[in-house]
Amino acid sequence: MIIQRVVLNSRPGKNGVPVAENFRLEQSTIADTVQAGQVRVKTLYLSVDPYMRCRMNEDTGSDYLQPWQLSEVADGGGIGVVEESKHQNLAKGDFVTSFTWPWQTAAILDGDLLQKLVPQLVNGRLSYFLGAAGITGLTALLGIREKGHVATGANQTMVVSGAAGACGSLAGQIGRLEGCSRVVGIAGTDEKCSILVQEMGFDAAINYKKGDVAKQLREFCPSGVDVYFDNVGGDISDTVISQMNQNSHIILCGQISQYNKDVPYPPPLPPDTEKIQKERNITRERFLVLNYMDKQEASVLQLCQWIQEGKLKVRETVVEGLANIGAAFQSMMNGGNIGKQIVSVSK
CB atoms within 10 A of CB 17: 13
Residue-wise pLDDT for 36-68, tens only, equals: 999 999 999 999 998 899 899 998 877 788 999
Phi/psi at 22 (nearest 5 deg)?
-70, -10
Chain-centroid distance, C-alpha 287 = 13
CA 267 – CA 257 distance, rounded (Å): 10
In angstroms, the CA 119 to CA 20 distance is 32
Tell me how far apart the alpha carbons of residues 310 and 325 are, in angstroms, rounded to a whole number: 30
Question: Does the domain at residues 2-131+315-344 carry the CATH identifier 3.90.180.10?
Answer: yes
Q: What is the pLDDT of residues 74-96, one digit of tens each?
A: 999 999 999 999 999 999 999 99
- In the chain, CATH 3.90.180.10 sits at 2-131+315-344
Asked whether the predicted pLDDT for residue 198 surpasses 90, the reply is yes
Indicate the average pLDDT of the chain: 93
The reported pLDDT for the residue numbered 338 is 86
Does residue 24 contact residue 344 with C-beta atoms inside 8 Å? no
Residue 257 CA to chain centroid, in angstroms? 15
Is the confidence at residue 262, as pLDDT, over 60? Answer: no
Q: What is the mean pLDDT of residues 261-272?
A: 72
Euclidean distance between CA atoms 298 and 288, whole angstroms = 18
What would the mean pLDDT of 174-182 be, rounded to a whole number? 97
Assess whether pLDDT exceeds 60 at residue 258. Answer: no
d(CA 277, CA 249): 10
CB 234 within 8 A of CB 120: no
Q: What is the DSSP letter of 147?
A: I
For the chain, give the percent of residues with pLDDT over 70.
97
- In CATH terms, is domain 135-290 a member of 3.30.56.10? no
For the chain, state the CA radius of gyration.
20
Tens of pLDDT, residues 96-126: 999 999 999 999 999 999 999 999 999 999 9
By the 8 A CB rule, do 26 and 8 touch? no
273-324 pLDDT per residue, tens: 999 999 999 999 878 888 898 999 999 999 999 999 999 999 999 999 999 9
Beta strands per DSSP E along 151-270: 157-161, 182-187, 204-207, 225-230, 244-252
- The model's pTM is 0.90
Q: Distance between the two ends of the chain, CA-based, in angstroms? A: 19
> Which whole number is the average pLDDT over 267-278?
93
Contact 123, 156 (CB under 8 A): no
Domain with CATH 3.40.50.720 in the chain: 135-290
- Does the pLDDT at position 260 exceed 60? no
